[in-house]
A = this chain, B = another copy of it.
Amino acid sequence: MGEPPRERADAARNRLKVLAAAAKLFREKGVDGVSMDAVAAEAGVGKGTLFRRFGDKSGLAVALLDERERELQAGILSGPPPLGPGAPAAERLAAFTDAYLDYVLGHLDLVRMSETASPGARYRIGAYRFWRRHVAILLAELRPGCDADPLAHAVLASLAAEQVTALVAEYGEERARKAVHSLVPG
């Protein structure tokens, strides 16, 4: 196994330029009102560079969400209960549901962009594996003998950004949260 090849200086510089430009434009015009061309132009970078760096639109969204995502993951792995380890499975699952809804609702457009830019994008994101694993472990504890992995998948369906957007738009955040909680086993 060779060394991990270091990232070239210009590449790193351009990544930062793009992230800054995207954050600025999204703040100013809203996530849905900004094209990839506009991001490239604002960053002073060619389109090819933008796509080489982030793969596609959802990749850019994922990069921008990275920090928030890490916070949530850290809270799950080593934060205080009930989100972190130490609480009973049912409580941890409820806490995760709440925390995840906070995350999604706090960046609705970005998360939606990260999940829907290309078909199946949601399930390919690295973090999705993490959420699903976490939920599966709790479900296995909560319902011994159940087929936890696909069940976790199904549970997470109700937390997809597109789904949450529609739910909140139609019933408001209060009822939406309660509905998701009453669906999640526990």
Partner-B contacts on A (CB < 8 A): 112, 116, 119-120, 122-123, 146-147, 149-151, 153-155, 157-158, 160, 162-163, 165-167, 170-171, 175-176, 178-180, 182-183, 185
Q: Which residue of B lies closest to A181 (CB)?
A: B154
User: Are the C-beta atoms of B167 and A120 separated by less than 8 Å?
Assistant: no
CB A127 to nearest CB in B, in angstroms, measures 15
Asked if B154 and A179 sit within 8 Å, CB to CB, the answer is yes
| 29 A-B pairs in the complex with CB atoms less than 8 angstroms apart | A116-B119, A120-B162, A120-B165, A122-B162, A122-B166, A123-B170, A146-B182, A147-B171, A147-B179, A150-B167, A150-B170, A150-B171, A150-B179, A151-B182, A151-B183, A153-B166, A153-B170, A153-B171, A153-B179, A154-B158, A154-B167, A154-B179, A154-B180, A155-B158, A155-B183, A157-B157, A157-B163, A160-B160, A183-B185
Main secondary structure of the interface of A (DSSP, over half): helix
- In the complex, what distance in Å separates the CA atom of A120 from the CA atom of B171? 15
Per the bound structure, the CA–CA distance linking A42 and B149 in Å amounts to 44
Instruction: Name the B residues within 8 Å of A150 (CB-CB).
Output: 167, 170-171, 175-176, 178-179
Complex: A166 Cα to B167 Cα, angstroms: 22
Most chain B C-beta atoms within 10 Å of own C-beta, residue among A150, A160, A170, A179 = A150
- Kindly state the separation between the CA atoms of A162 and B116 in the bound complex, as whole angstroms: 10
Residues in B with CB closer than 8 Å to A175 are 147, 150
The answer on a CB contact under 8 Å between B179 and A167 is no
